[in-house]
Structure 1
Amino acid sequence: MKKSIRLIAAVAALAMTAGAAACGSGTSQKNNKADVSLNDINSALTDTSKTTDLTVWAYSAKQIEGPVKAFQERYPHIKINFVNTGAASDHFTKFQNVVSANKGVPDVVQMSISEYEQYAVSGALLNFESDEIEKAWGTQYAQAAWKNVHFGGGLYGTPQDAAPLALYVRKDILDEHGLKVPTTWQEFYDEGVKLHKQDPSKYMGFISSSDTSLFGVLRTVGAKPWTVKDTTNIDFSLTTGRVAEFIKFIQKCLDDGVLRAAATGTDEFNREVNDGVYATRLEGCWQGNIYKDQNPSLKGKMVVAHPLAWGNDGESYQSESTGSMFSVSSATPKDKQAAALAFIQWVNGSKDGVSEFLTANKGNYFMASNYYQKDKSKRDQQETDGYFANTNVNEIYFESMDKVNMDWDYIPFPAQLTVAFGDTVAPALTGKGDLLTAFTKLQDNLKSYAEDNGFKVTTDAD
């Protein structure tokens, strides 16, 4: 059995089309509060006198179909119509279309942690927050993962997996140039300057110009570009404080050949990775298996290290590269809501559901459930296939998850962030302008968009 850990909700989930805007749903937000008790949910599993049909949509169908089948066999009175909606980008577009049309909306839908907020704001997802559910279910998941499914005072799903960040390091390259594996951002810069000076074709790392993963990096240094106070109030802080401090640092890294802007996901980028253009890669834990699948020639040349610490006092923040969740749509009839909630909790949170996930995926799934997170045997599991030069890869993933920066909000309109980032920040990453000015333009863009869509907005300049 493979020892490394896989996250199936990868960066593709960020590729949501711009047309699926935050307030474009045809469902009214005021109608999305569940009227169901914990006893109703538990009874839905045990009361076989009632048959319930649930339609479930997922973009990670291959990984989820095993647990869904196990649930169906165990609870045959809850009949699951399981739909593979294809790639994540197609999935979200299809969901937005049926929500807008108010027709054909599934009862249960897989969501990305970084995408669901816009559907929560628009009222497309069921808010099932209650004191009894918080008490009963909240302790069954990793703290950061459970926080992730809350937004604006509501609870909109159960977390499925997580993706704590790790630093993937081409140690063979660093060894060749007499450099050490960095543990802080300052060391990253210092060693990177040396590397690029010795070999101008190589860089210590890259910043993606084709997606918004830079904001996940901001999270690792304790920088918070926005604070979402509730479903109608947001504060932007993209031009001052820790955000500005780190953006200036990134600019310095770009100017001095430590970092390079790269359009990730392209054939050219994949060749650069394989050829050793970049000595490190800060990425979610799913990247470990991607390397094994796509870059077999790198076997034995890499180590997995902790994300970099920030500041002279060594303060360390960790981040996640999003994750998946199951949500119930607000269009689900009231007489089916209990069964739908029972399903998403059993699959993602129960011991049996987690076991089915791991069995179906040969252990390659970093589950958010505490049945997985608190299993010491998973944390201590060692690499045995020799791909990475260090064998304690799982331990690093779990330690990263333990230290996820909790002072973080996902923006409730990620599609607009993607568009605005491409218009303002991406050009500056490639040398056409400076980053701090680009972040000022980005903040202005996001502020205007938020206000146009009914948000009350404050900024660090107010």
Structure 2
Amino acid sequence: MFGLSLNRRTRLVVAGTLTLALAGGLAACSSGSSDTPSDGSPVELTFQSWVPNIDQAVDAFNASHDDVQVTLETITAGPDGGYAKMLSAVQAGEPADVVQLGYDAIPDFLINDALEDITEYVGDSEDLFVPWQWATGSFDGAVYAVPQASGPLGQFYRKDIFDSLGLAYPTTWEEYYEAAKVIHASDPNKYITAFAFNQAPWLIGLAQQGGANWFGVSGDAWDVTIDDESTMKVAEFWQKLIDEGLVKIEADFSSEWNADIQNGNVATWISGSWADAILRGTAPDTAGSWAVGAMPQWEAGENVSATWAGGSASAVLKGSAHPKEAAEFALWLNSDPESVNILTNVGAGWPAIADTSEITSLQSDPEVFEFYGGQDIWDVFAESDAAVDTSWMWPPLSSTLFASLTDNVKSAVEGGTPLTGAFEATQTDMVDALEAKGIAVN
């Protein structure tokens, strides 16, 4: 997630003498026109996304528009193939028109000159969206993406297990630690959670919620502080849980993790709002046993949250033959109440639109609320989204950040070395990677 301070960043410094001045350089490259069929047939767009069941929203658009029709192409999420395919298509002059991008990936696409400036088509729609989410795709007055949804963190937990052990919901991390001891003591196969060494977004979210702010800009260079005091505090806390055997070391979304979610051996899961759909799909037989709470706080009485990798947006790739229609589809997809309601239902995340009063699934959702024992879980995520630290920035080369952090944390866990060293190694890796690309680092 970019913060509100993102708009104050005037440029990214890249290789050699090239400086992409986001107020002018990239915008000047926009085609700014569309090739409309002369025979009256509809404009045909291609949309690439990884969101499960997003075809429902595409179908709704096609049903309500005669002049534009969209074909969905399902791609692999994130840097594990999907982004590389998008960038290669831009270089080959055969891009999709609209693509799903994580907020963290937008800088990478900008420094690769792979996004259209869509300001003239959607720039006057800023007020429809939550300011920090709109800012993820806006640079110095130019708009390059329409925000779709964020992933504010909450804690899904087995309320039945907590109640049976006489445990109150942990509102602080110290209470979380004490609960972890009680849960594991009750059954050596039960743990308060899984330590998901495979999930860089999860690890980053924990650090962000702990007060870390890894990236910033001073002048024409990036500040990189992955090994800051706040991150070390978070790393040492989780190291204590690992050393005392209070968390299970396993990759989330693995078959073992799925089984532990189903049988109650993992009693909590800190994740984004979209995880509701995954939880209900993974463990339908546990309906009524779960509840959702806010993130535990480092200081009692605080209200600090974070996100799972920020969220995602819809962007128009450079070279689209129909940038106007593509931008208008991106805007409809992420602001039309019918579409946003569909996106919320399928687990796309917390809506980026500012006014969610017309999103019926957030007002009353019997299927969801029943699974959580009658709780309106969306109240938790609404508060979480409002409590996100909006000063966080994503840097160029976020894919490098994710890969490095995952590798270093996995090595630390497997080798029995401190987690603090994994974050220190990631600091070094990230600085080296930026400098290797000619990006200045303070």
TM-score range, shorter chain: 0.7 to 0.9
Matched ranges for 1:388-427 at <5 A = 388-427=372-411
Residue 433 in structure 1 maps to residue 427 in structure 2:
no
Partner-residue secondary structure (3-state), 2:222: strand
Q: Which runs of 5+ in 2 are unaligned?
A: 1-12
Q: 1:48 to 1:71 in 2, by over 3 A?
A: farther
State whether residues 192 and 257 of structure 1, in contact with CA within 8 Å, keep that contact through their aligned partners in structure 2.
Answer: no
Partner-residue secondary structure (3-state), 1:57: strand
State whether residues 195 and 204 of structure 1, in contact with CA within 8 Å, keep that contact through their aligned partners in structure 2.
Answer: yes
State whether residues 207 and 262 of structure 1, in contact with CA within 8 Å, keep that contact through their aligned partners in structure 2.
Answer: yes
How far 1:65 sits from its partner (Å)?
3.4
**Structure 2 residue aligned with 1:32:** 26
Residue 294 in structure 1 maps to residue 282 in structure 2:
yes
State whether residues 54 and 340 of structure 1, in contact with CA within 8 Å, keep that contact through their aligned partners in structure 2.
Answer: no
**Structure 1 residue aligned with 2:259:** 271
> Which residue, 193, 196, 203 being the options, matches 1:214?
203
Q: 1:115 to 1:252 in 2, by over 3 A?
A: same
Partner-residue secondary structure (3-state), 1:166: strand
How far 1:172 sits from its partner (Å)?
2.0
1:351-399 residue CA offsets vs partner (Å, 9 max, x unmatched): xx33144258767655524365244865543645632124221211222
State whether residues 238 and 244 of structure 1, in contact with CA within 8 Å, keep that contact through their aligned partners in structure 2.
Answer: no
CA distance in 2, matches of 1:62, 1:206: 24
**Structure 1 residue aligned with 2:323:** 337
Residue 94 in structure 1 maps to residue 85 in structure 2:
yes
Q: 1:175 to 1:310 in 2, by over 3 A?
A: same
**Structure 2 residue aligned with 1:15:** none
How far 1:264 sits from its partner (Å)?
1.7
**Structure 1 residue aligned with 2:230:** 242
Please tell me the residue identity of whatever aligns with 1:85.
T
1:407-462 residue CA offsets vs partner (Å, 9 max, x unmatched): 2112321221233123322222345211112211111111101100121112xxxx
Residue 106 in structure 1 maps to residue 96 in structure 2:
yes
State whether residues 334 and 353 of structure 2, in contact with CA within 8 Å, keep that contact through their aligned partners in structure 1.
Answer: no
Residue 373 in structure 1 maps to residue 373 in structure 2:
no
**Structure 2 residue aligned with 1:348:** 334
> Which residue, 154, 160, 163 being the options, matches 1:166?
154
TM-score (norm 2): 0.82
CA distance in 1, matches of 2:274, 2:268: 15
Aligned residue pair count: 419
Q: 1:357 to 1:140 in 2, by over 3 A?
A: closer
**Structure 2 residue aligned with 1:304:** 292
CA distance in 1, matches of 2:383, 2:63: 36
Q: 1:423 to 1:36 in 2, by over 3 A?
A: closer
Partner-residue secondary structure (3-state), 1:386: helix
1:306-328 residue CA offsets vs partner (Å, 9 max, x unmatched): 1222224x322112224331101
Q: 1:237 to 1:199 in 2, by over 3 A?
A: same
Partner-residue secondary structure (3-state), 1:215: helix
Matched ranges for 1:52-91 at <5 A = 53-60=43-50, 63-80=53-70, 82-88=71-77, 89-91=80-82
Residue 227 in structure 1 maps to residue 211 in structure 2:
no
Q: 1:23 to 1:86 in 2, by over 3 A?
A: farther
1:120-143 residue CA offsets vs partner (Å, 9 max, x unmatched): 22111123458x965x22210123
Please tell me the residue identity of whatever aligns with 2:85.
K
CA distance in 2, matches of 1:72, 1:427: 48
State whether residues 317 and 405 of structure 1, in contact with CA within 8 Å, keep that contact through their aligned partners in structure 2.
Answer: yes
TM-score (norm 1): 0.79
Which range moved further: 64-73 or 411-420? 64-73
CA distance in 1, matches of 2:350, 2:159: 29
Please tell me the residue identity of whatever aligns with 2:317.
S
CA distance in 2, matches of 1:294, 1:253: 26
Q: 1:303 to 1:70 in 2, by over 3 A?
A: closer
> Which residue, 317, 325, 328 being the options, matches 2:304?
317
**Structure 1 residue aligned with 2:109:** 119
CA distance in 1, matches of 2:403, 2:345: 37
Partner-residue secondary structure (3-state), 2:135: helix
How far 1:151 sits from its partner (Å)?
5.6
How far 1:195 sits from its partner (Å)?
2.5
State whether residues 14 and 440 of structure 2, in contact with CA within 8 Å, keep that contact through their aligned partners in structure 1.
Answer: no
State whether residues 59 and 110 of structure 1, in contact with CA within 8 Å, keep that contact through their aligned partners in structure 2.
Answer: yes
State whether residues 110 and 326 of structure 1, in contact with CA within 8 Å, keep that contact through their aligned partners in structure 2.
Answer: yes
CA distance in 1, matches of 2:319, 2:416: 46
CA distance in 2, matches of 1:239, 1:387: 40
CA distance in 1, matches of 2:50, 2:421: 39
Partner-residue secondary structure (3-state), 2:238: helix
Please tell me the residue identity of whatever aligns with 2:330.
I
State whether residues 408 and 422 of structure 2, in contact with CA within 8 Å, keep that contact through their aligned partners in structure 1.
Answer: yes
CA distance in 2, matches of 1:365, 1:419: 23
**Structure 2 residue aligned with 1:387:** 371
CA distance in 1, matches of 2:345, 2:432: 47
CA distance in 1, matches of 2:73, 2:19: 27
How far 1:48 sits from its partner (Å)?
10
State whether residues 164 and 285 of structure 1, in contact with CA within 8 Å, keep that contact through their aligned partners in structure 2.
Answer: yes
State whether residues 212 and 231 of structure 2, in contact with CA within 8 Å, keep that contact through their aligned partners in structure 1.
Answer: yes
